[in-house]
Amino acid sequence: MAWILGILNHLDPVGRAMVRPSISPLMAQPVVELCLAIPTWMWVSGGRDRAVARRAFEGRLPPTILGRRSKGTPASFVMHLFESRRSEIGEMLCDGLLAGHGLVDRDRVHAYLSDPRPVSDARYMQIMGLVDAESWARSWTR
């Protein structure tokens, strides 16, 4: 229920969200009511979650999709972006507006980005937060 409440501000937008409203078909009342009506013991079958949805789409989706054990997340996308663009991120942050104003510790950013090992902690998200801030700052100087 808490997750449903958490999305309400997206379903009933205010302010600038009204200019370009988002449509959330999976949050339509009939869909939510159906999902809430499914007993918990039906959620998992044969040791696999999402059993009801898997059965509903049998024959309509490829077996590789129906049988998968994991799914992508925004975090995995951002991590891939981080890994594939380390040098560009380094240049952007170490030579950028934020660093020029002393808001970025160039040495720490460079040290983190220079580590050749795959990301294994959440610090890359802090770096990507700086990338967001740097992009925003640059948008005001063009």
Who has greater pLDDT, 65 or 92? 92
User: Cα 12–18–21 angle (5° rounding)?
Assistant: 75
Residue with tokens 């992508």, as numbered in its chain: 72
In percent, how much of the chain has pLDDT > 90? 54
Q: Which two tokens stand for residue 62?
A: 């490829």
Q: Is the pLDDT of residue 17 over 70?
A: no
Q: Which two tokens stand for residue 119?
A: 């990301």
% helix / strand / coil in the chain, to the nearest 5? 65, 0, 35
Instruction: Calculate the alpha carbon distances from 11 to 6, 49, 126, 135 in Å.
Output: 10, 27, 29, 29
What single letter denotes the amino acid at residue 129? G
Helix axis angle for 86-94 and 74-84, nearest 10°, is: 80
Q: Which two tokens stand for residue 7?
A: 């999305």
Closest to 127 (Cα-Cα) out of 67, 60, 79 = 79
Ranges 18-32, 82-96, 115-129: which has the least confidence:
18-32
**If you average pLDDT over residues 88-94, what whole number do you get?**
96
pLDDT in tens, 42-74: 999 888 888 999 999 999 999 998 888 877 777
